[in-house]
Amino acid sequence: MRNYQTDQIKNIVICGNPKSGKTTLTEAMLFEGGVIERRGSVENKNTVSDYNEIEHENENSVFATVCYTEYANKKINIIDAPGLDDFSGGLITALRPADSALMLINGQNGVEIGTEIQGRHLESHNKPVIIAVNQLDHDKANFEKVVESLKQSYGSKAVIIQYPVNPGESFNSLIDVVKMKMYKYPSDGGKAEITDIPGDQADRAEELRNDLIEAAAENDESLMETFFDKGTLNEEEMLKGIRMGVRARNMFPVLCSSAKKDMGVDRVLDFICDVAPGPDETGPAINTDGKEIKCTSSSPASLFVFKTSMEQHIGEINFFKIMSGEITEGVDLINNTTSAKERFSQLLVVAGKTRHKVSKLSAGDIAATVKLKNTSANQTLTAPGESFEFKPIAYPEPKYRTAIKAKSESDEEKLGEALSRMHDEDPTILIEYSKELKQIIVHGQGEYHLNILKWHLDNIFKIETDYITPKIPYRETITKTAQSTYRHKKQSGGAGQFGEVHMVIEPYNEGMPDPAKYKVDGKEINVSVRGKEEHKLPWGGMLVYFNCIVGGSIDNRFMPAILKGIMEKMEEGPLTGSYARDIRVAVYDGKMHPVDSNEISFKLAGRNAFREAFKNAGPRILEPIYDIEVLVPSERMGDVMSDLQGRRAIIEGMTSEKGFEKIKAKVPLAELSKYSTALSSLTNGRATYTMKFGKYETVPADLQDKLLKAYEEEQEEE
């Protein structure tokens, strides 16, 4: 394969609602470019891009697949992205190396749920978008209805470039209002016969061409002047205006195709070559130091690894985009994250599971390599002497969590390794080994997302697992001041154990003055602070520890042991075994024995004194509260609001956004179990949401009683 220069490269992500035909279109594009000799199909499970067993089984994309085609003296790198929101990580991965997007619209249904959701991702990443209305050969295809839905979503920015002459089962012709020609395809697709526009279509074609000329002229002052002078634009001027409009997201051109019959695919490829921005036309990349890195082959070499996958018989494959310079086979680059030197012994251009070796690649190109020792996704490699990194890909917060356990204890180590590998391939799968909950918690984008993870564990890694209900990471604290005295005394023949501790505990609030006097149960306790330790707890909150011992009743050398005992009980709270937080402790008196006192004695005395004081200090259980934003169609808002209120949500506000309502609320994590599934059911899959940890708040009294009772029963069983 030849080495394409930067100005001959196009990088495009294909996205759209599930079943819009992304994988089929990718197949047709590769066929049109001669990369494959015959087209596979999703039904026959022999497509280039959906080549994983799970994708064959489910007949939809799970991973973002890198492909390429060669067309009109250009290399078009294509990333076929998953359509389901549960696999949004694949789309977000694909958006980093892509310079523009081709959004597929199902010719029967128009703008669908996935179109809306993925459109929001494209907008937030500021990606230029070309629209292709696909499946126009279906008997229920309705181009006018599709255009109407596009106008509702994109307004006047959705501009028709092509329209079908005969949508439906007999579809074989389209009219291109840039070329002002009709393209008529043979029954098996492929090369079209180009003819003049029939008389019965002339008026419509002329009207749409005028609309297009006006839209193109609006993107450049000189074009606008030409338009005012001549009343029209020629094809070259029109394409210039379209290019500028697309790059600025001021124009969303609408094309036509039947990917299954390979009709219109050649014109889609032509349009990408003519209009889609190249890697050197989207503005320079900015590294984490704020420096611009220009996408030119004359610059020092740098690349960004955007995806890692593991494949049988091959091992780890790293997919990368060359951000600057040229890469040659055998070159040594420095990983600026790990500081490791990596040799690129092979450079591979990729079409699904097919890879071809090349000796050289230029800035802007996308490729892969194998056998890198210390490199994974989201890392930057540069030529020796260059030292910078590109910002890592930011993935959405997880929306769904479950606990996982290997059925066999002997598989526990294998399970950890398998989960780590799955996270490397899909960074939206997050693994949490919770010491607090004594569970492995798996976080993902939805129930289906984690079901696919389990399929891999069962079928690829051969590890039998169970998903179990995840525990909630509650916290414990106190609401009032309490005092306790505890004596630990043990005598067993030889040296005994003795330690007595008197302490006061109280709620911690930021900015509190140090204590001088406490009043507990009508009794005043005066204290004199001799030492103060502030401990910011790993699980959140504070512990402040005061040494108020006077007169040597407890030797200073035993004070750390008392703190250790308190901390042990903070790590396993007295109410439910959850972490305790936001407490001040003052040890003000005690006793010791000249022979029997030791560190273990005072650790146990401190631990038990703290436990007894805690139970008398108005103890409360806190629960994690999440901030959620739900984007829901207006007509479904009532159902979603009712459901949220049933989940103890506090609604904080509502705003409108492009026909959707955005609901902001605070919801306890305990009430969000399987919320993604419930929301999808309530809205027929049209709503989406994000969730992020907010803060801890006190649980209602009735729920606290239930939690205390459940913990007591659990302790009795153990």
Q: Residue 353: which pLDDT band, with cuts at 50, 70 and 90?
A: confident
Residue 390: pLDDT above 90?
yes
**Average pLDDT of the residues of the chain:** 93
* Residue pointed to by tokens 């009683």: 705
Phi and psi at 113, nearest 5°, equal -55, -50
Tokens of 303: 């690349």
Q: How far apart are CA 1 and CA 8, in angstroms?
A: 14
The pLDDT tens digits for 213-269 are 999 999 999 999 999 999 999 999 999 999 999 999 999 999 999 999 999 999 999
Q: Residue 624: which pLDDT band, with cuts at 50, 70 and 90?
A: very high
Tokens of 637: 């808002």
Calculate mean pLDDT across residues 439-459.
95
Q: How far apart are CA 153 and CA 155, in angstroms?
A: 6
Work out the percent of the chain whose per-residue pLDDT is above 70.
Answer: 99
Q: What is the pLDDT of residue 312?
A: 74
Q: Residue 493: which pLDDT band, with cuts at 50, 70 and 90?
A: low
The pLDDT tens digits for 35-73 are 999 998 888 889 888 888 888 888 788 899 999 999 999
Q: What is the pLDDT of residue 54?
A: 84
The pLDDT tens digits for 158-178 are 999 999 999 999 999 999 999
User: Model-level pTM?
Assistant: 0.88
Calculate mean pLDDT across residues 75-103.
95
Strands (E), 359-481: 360-362, 366-370, 379-382, 400-406, 430-434, 439-444, 465-468, 475-477
Do 490 and 497 touch, CB atoms closer than 8 A? yes
Kind and range of the H or E element at 274?
Answer: helix 265-275
Q: Residue 112: which pLDDT band, with cuts at 50, 70 and 90?
A: confident
| Residues belonging to the chain | 718
Q: Which domains does the chain have, with CATH numbers?
A: 6-275 (3.40.50.300), 285-382 (2.40.30.10), 401-471 (3.30.70.870), 476-618 (3.30.230.10), 622-703 (3.30.70.240)
Give the least confident one: 140-144, 248-252, 262-266, 684-688.
684-688
Amino acid at 248: A
Work out the percent of the chain whose per-residue pLDDT is above 90.
Answer: 84
Q: What is the pLDDT of residue 714?
A: 83
Q: What is the pLDDT of residue 213?
A: 95
Tokens of 13: 């992500």
Query: Which residues lie below 8 Å from residue 251, measured CB to CB, with a gap of 6+?
Result: 157, 159, 215, 216, 219, 242, 245
Burial class (CB in 10 A: 0-12, 13-18, 19+), 525: middle
Is the Cα dihedral 367, 370, 373, 376 positive or negative?
Answer: positive
Tokens of 689: 């949401």
